[in-house]
């Protein structure tokens, strides 16, 4: 039973790390494309993103953090 638990934990950890690396890579690509398209935005601007990575569009909190980090005062 212990061997099965260790094996399952190992598989889950490897899978989680692989998914995390893929999402991190996608996030870097997305922010690079965003900055290339809009080098600067004045504060008070509203930015609408419709074609970002799926996990960013699904979680508005992460998307607002990314936009706020690169464009202070932009919504």
* pLDDT value at 1 more than 70: yes
Of all residues in the chain, the percent with pLDDT exceeding 90 is 0
For residue 61, what are the CA distances in angstroms to 1, 14, 39, 56?
Answer: 40, 26, 22, 8
Q: Considering the entire predicted model, what is its pTM? A: 0.54
* pLDDT value at 54 more than 70: no
Of all residues in the chain, the percent with pLDDT exceeding 70 is 77
24: three-class secondary structure by DSSP: helix
- CA–CA distance, 57 with 50 (Å, rounded to integer): 8
CA 72 to chain centre: 18
- The whole-number average pLDDT for the span 30-34 is 80
Packed helices 60-70 and 2-37: angle between N→C axes, nearest 10 degrees: 50
- CA–CA distance, 67 with 61 (Å, rounded to integer): 10
* pLDDT value at 51 more than 80: no
């Amino acid at each position: 039973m212990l061997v099965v638990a260790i094996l399952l934990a190992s598989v889950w950890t490897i899978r989680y790390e692989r998914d995390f690396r893929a999402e991190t890579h996608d996030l870097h690509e997305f922010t690079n494309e965003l900055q290339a398209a809009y080098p600067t935005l004045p504060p008070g601007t509203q930015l609408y993103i419709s074609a970002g990575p799926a996990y960013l569009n699904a979680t508005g909190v992460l998307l607002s953090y990314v936009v706020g980090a690169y464009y202070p005062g932009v919504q």
